Structure 1
Amino acid sequence: MKKILLLILIAFLTHSCLVTKNYQEPELDVPTVYRDFKEIDSTSMAMVPYECFFNDPLLLDYIDEALTNNYDMRLALQNVYRSQALYRQGRAGYVPTLNVDASVNSSDFSDNSFQGQQARQGNQSSDGNVPSRIEQYDLTGTLDWEIDLWGGITSNKRATAAAYLQSEAGQRLVKTSIISNVASQYYLLMALDEQLEIAQQAVEARKGSFDITEKLKKAGLEREVAVQQSGSQLKIAELLALDLELQIKLAENAFSVLLGKNPQEVSRGKIDSTFLDREIEIGLPSQLLRNRPDVVQAEFNLINAFELENVARADFYPQLNIGASAGFRSVNASDWISSASLFNTLVAGLAQPILNNRRIKTNFEVAQINQQTASLEFKQTLLTAYQEVNDAWFTQNSLTEQYKVRQEQVEFLDNATDYSFRLYQSGLSSYLEVLIADSNKLNAQIELVNLKLNQLNATVELYRALGGGWNKKIEPASTMLSNEEKKND
């Protein structure tokens, strides 16, 4: 008993010499401001809730519906539940295991066996008869406890906590993606509606032009080639309208699936009345470490790999186990549960791995590689985040200018079409000039709507790239991990 207590004392004394390391945030090359920014402003539109960022009530209802019913969102939630269950198991690593076993053994040994001779000598009754069977009744409780001598159990707990927080960040990443996808698909539907309206107007206008050229040809004032050219332009407009109708059906189907329901018709507003009238504020690059769910997810993945390396390192050292068992054991059922049948055992063991087919060393080497991989992935994710913000910012600014120029072009082409037709009516130009002007006008009108769509999507993409959409500013990953451990201790 004294030796067992001595082993326990040694365990607590050596516990201060942990072989595991504490996680340190990696050194990162974080720029002070984004490219081409001169002023330092910490205000970021990523902190604006999506309910305030979007101003279309229908779109907001669709986003709420998608966040509830979308299957990617529901799968991400299941990943959180799975990681949470594993985290609870990791926290239970400090707790000893306790098992209770009840059994009855009945044996009939041969007369010539050693066990049979001993049993018959010790179990003769008062009348000299030897019972044919020997019975034993057991009720035993067994307690086993592994001492966290080198910090491996603590590191495993931290690893499961990091995996749990990583899954939560993954769920937030899915949420931001769903919000941006729903908004982009909604704007696409409105843009297609606007383009279809333009195409249908072109069909009606070209039908009128086709009728006029046929009448002029019959009157001997125009040639057959003009009729054929006019008919060709009419068919181009009709084909465009048919293609846009197909695109609308397919976009509605895709939008319905985003909402987690069967393909169906989608109610929506008009794109010409849709504006994301919000000042563009992108904040500081360092804020991406807290606002971008994929960056947070990558850092928790790094913490998980770091702690698992600690676990693998601790496997090189001796493992101390303390066990105890107690219960009732008797050969007679009548006095099974009695003080005379009570027994107990206390065991302490220290096991040092020597030869195990290189398993421990290989596990440690793999854990080191996994940590290096996670570190590289974290830095790559952060670098990609910087690029996405810069790309979205430049795209948004460029498209704003392009939209203004395209508006002016449409106005010029509208005037050119009108002037060409008047000159044609006056016999001062050919019908070919009218067709060219009209074709250029239609193309420019379609492109103007595309630019409007791209402009809206660029703003949504910038909001997503900054980490907007999940409406919560979080602490550094190491602080979150510490708080999670304190909350559950």
Structure 2
Amino acid sequence: MTTNNIFYRIAIFLVLASIAWSCNVPEKVLLPVSQTLPDQYEPLLATDSTNIATISWRAYFDDPNLIALIDSALQNNQELNILLQEIQVSQNEVLEREGEYLPFVRLGAGIGAEKPGRYTRAGAVEEQLDIEPEKAFPEPLGDFQLGAVATWEVDIWRKLRNAKDAAQLRYLAATEGRNFLVTNLVAEISETYYELLALDNLLKIINDNLLLQQDALSKVKLQKENARATQLAVNRFEAQLLNTRNLQYAIKQQITEAENRINFLAGRYPSEVARNPQSFMDMPLDSIQAGVPAELLANRPDIRQAEYELAAANLDIDVARADFYPRLDITAGLGFQAFNPKFLASPESVVFNLAGDLMAPLINKKAIQARYNMATAKQIQAVYAYEQTVLSAYTDLLNQLNKLNNYSKSFDTKTAEVDILNKSVNIANSLYRNARADYVEVLLTQEEVLDAKMELMETRLEQLQAKVAIYRTLGGGWR
């Protein structure tokens, strides 16, 4: 039988063995993605075909102080910088996976010597040998090597290339994760900045109210001296003044914490945050254009991140499934080997080898089956995570659209309430001076107007924060 026939039969045997082996490989089953978005949002909410998510945050937040804070955060925020390094790790994992399905070539050199015992078989043989006529066999026998060795796992089943593609998808997912962090960072700084402006205005309201209460306390003390009021009235007015001062201290603490939060997000130590509190009530609430729900899939970085993770999980199943098939490894070497360095360049010192190994798991495949089962479970997890992300994004946006709508109406009614209570304070003071109203009515009216003004500021804050949240939930802020 010729050598060619032997190799031919071996090849046929290996092919048939691979086909038979593939019959035992589990079939790949993927969980379908069932999450679909409605065609449009609720009729009363945004029906415009455009989308504010495509607007740059610099144009959306038209406040130079806020823009400066966001710029500082994008440069110095530690969490963002940590994530950037994770993206670098993912990028290098792609390069690592790409190199695995290419041949590995190593260049090396070696020096050695060998001297068997004279009364051993090898020693007795060497004793009878001459390296050249009338030239004794070298003792010890040197061994000098110089050459290259190549190893290559032939990627028959695309296992290594699928692993590289999965790493590439996870790199893209990490990039989208960075965009999602930027979106949330821009939103959090904006929301905290608006909260700081609201607190400044609340502090001004309290300070103005303190002046009115101090004036009222002075007047009631004067009335007591003239026997027109009692000590009870004085005590009630003084207690109201002390209660308002306590509110003042609480607001100051909240201002300190809001400033420190902004500075932390901006990656700097606590310092005064530049701002213009007078602009708080005049900030425009532009018409919110949410577009259609399907645009969330393109604009939301977290949805795209979940989509990439799902695609990578699908490829992981292919990688795990390929372990059930035979593996072909090829090794080759080429170099020079001689017992004396001066002979290394001689053609007679050339050595080479070439070998191929085809191996398949036969017994105890539990580890392979376990890896396949884990990859399948993770793919199912990725499907649910994607569906959850889409559902959460849609629900969050719908909540914020309703929030802006409801708080805009609430702001109008609360403004009217404050106007009425302001007039009521003047009326109550006038009636009290003319002994036509009890001091309790004055106290209650002052408390009601203070509460109403504070609630008006809080309602305004809810409006502005809803504007920020809508921009975030639509996927704006990372461009």
TM-score by length of 2: 0.92
- Where structure 2 has 5 or more consecutive residues not aligned to the other structure, the ranges are none
* Contact 1:140 1:325 survives alignment (8 Å): yes
Match of 1:256 among 253, 257, 263: 263
Report matched runs for 1:311-330 at 5 Å.
Answer: 311-330=319-338
1:22, CA displacement in angstroms? 12
Query: What corresponds to 1:212 in structure 2?
Result: 219
- The separation in 2 between residues aligned to 1:436 and 1:49, in whole angstroms, is 48
Greater mean alpha carbon deviation, residues 105-114 or residues 288-297:
105-114
Residue in structure 1 matching 2:366, options 358, 362, 377: 358
Specify the SS of the correspondent of 2:142.
Answer: strand
Alignment partners' CA distance in 1, 2:299 and 2:194: 25
* Superposed displacement of residue 139, structure 1: 1.1
Count of aligned pairs between the two proteins: 467
Q: 1:435: which partner in 2? A: 443
Counterpart residue number, 2:303: 295
Alpha-carbon distance in 2 for matches of 1:455, 1:227: 40
> Counterpart amino acid of 2:399?
D
The amino acid of 1:28's aligned partner reads Q
SS at match of 2:246: helix
State the partner residue of 1:30. Answer: 37
In the alignment, structure 1 residue 343 sits paired with structure 2 residue 351: yes
**Structure 1 length-normalised TM:** 0.90
Instruction: Provide the rounded CA distance (Å) in 2 between the counterparts of 1:254 and 1:227.
Output: 41
On the 8 A contact 1:326/1:342 being kept in 2, the answer is yes
CA shift, 1:364, in A, is 0.3
Residue 262 of structure 1 aligns to a residue in which SS? coil
1:30-52 CA-partner distances (Å, limit 9, x unpaired): 21112345885431111111111
Structure 1 gaps, min length 5: 472-489
Q: SS state of the match for residue 137, structure 1? A: strand
**Residues 403, 451 of structure 1: 8 Å contact kept:** yes
Evaluate the alpha carbon distance shift between residue 464 and residue 4 of structure 1 in structure 2; reply closer, same or farther with a 3 A threshold: farther
> What does residue 410 of structure 1 align with?
418
Equivalence for 2:251: 244
Q: Is 1:52 paired with 2:59?
A: yes
- Cα deviation code 1:298-317 (max 9, x no counterpart): 11111111111110001100
- The one-character-per-residue Cα deviations of 1:286-327 (angstroms, maximum 9, x if unpaired) are 111111111111111111111111100011001112221110
Give the structure 2 partner of residue 73 of structure 1: 80
2:275 aligned residue: 268
Q: Judge which range, 59-68 or 127-136, deviates more.
A: 127-136
Relative to structure 1, is the Cα distance of residues 232 and 140 closer, same or farther in structure 2, using a 3 angstrom cutoff? same
Q: Residue 447 of structure 1 aligns with which residue?
A: 455
Distance between the aligned counterparts of 1:263 and 1:39, measured in 2? 40
Shift of 1:7: 5.7
Correspondence for 2:316 among 308, 325, 334:
308
| Alignment partners' CA distance in 2, 1:38 and 1:397 | 8
Task: Give the whole-Å Cα distance in 1 for the aligned partners of 2:364 and 2:337.
Answer: 38
Displacement of 1:101 in angstroms is: 1.8
Alpha-carbon contact 1:120-1:131 (below 8 Å) kept? no
In 2, Cα distance between the equivalents of 1:24 and 1:181? 36
Distance 1:215 1:153, change over 3 A: same
SS at match of 1:322: strand
CA distance, structure 2, for counterparts of residue 340 and residue 86 of structure 1: 44
- CA distance 1:345–1:27, change in 2 (3 Å): same
Mapped to 1, the partners of 2:406 and 2:196 lie a distance apart of: 23
- Structure 2 vs 1, CA of residues 288 and 330 (structure 1 numbering), >3 Å: closer, same or farther? same
Partner of 1:463: 471
Contact 1:302 1:378 in 2 (8 A): yes
In structure 2, what residue type is equivalent to 1:399? Y
**Aligned pairs for 1:15-414 within 5 A:** 26-36=33-43, 41-122=48-129, 131-270=138-277, 271-356=279-364, 358-414=366-422
CA RMSD of aligned residues (A): 2.5
**Distance in 1 of aligned mates of 2:438 and 2:174:** 68
* CA shift in 2, pair 1:39/1:386, >3 Å: closer
C-alpha distance in structure 2 between counterparts of 1:37 and 1:230, whole Å:
48
Cα shift at 1:57: 1.0
The residue identity in structure 2 corresponding to 1:79 is E
What SS does the corresponding residue of 2:280 show, helix, strand or coil? helix
Share of identical aligned residues, percent? 29
Distance in 2 of aligned mates of 1:123 and 1:201: 114
Q: Distance in 2 between matches of 1:58 and 1:38?
A: 31
Q: Could you give the per-residue CA deviations for residues 6-46 of structure 1, whole angstroms, max 9, x where no partner exists?
A: 969x99xx99x9x9989998343221112345885431111
The range that moved more, 320-329 or 167-176, is 320-329
Partner residue, 1:481: none
Give, as a single letter, the amino acid of the residue that structure 2 aligns with 1:353: P
Give the AA of the match of 1:394.
N
Change (3 A) 1:22 1:358: closer
Shift of 1:465: 0.4
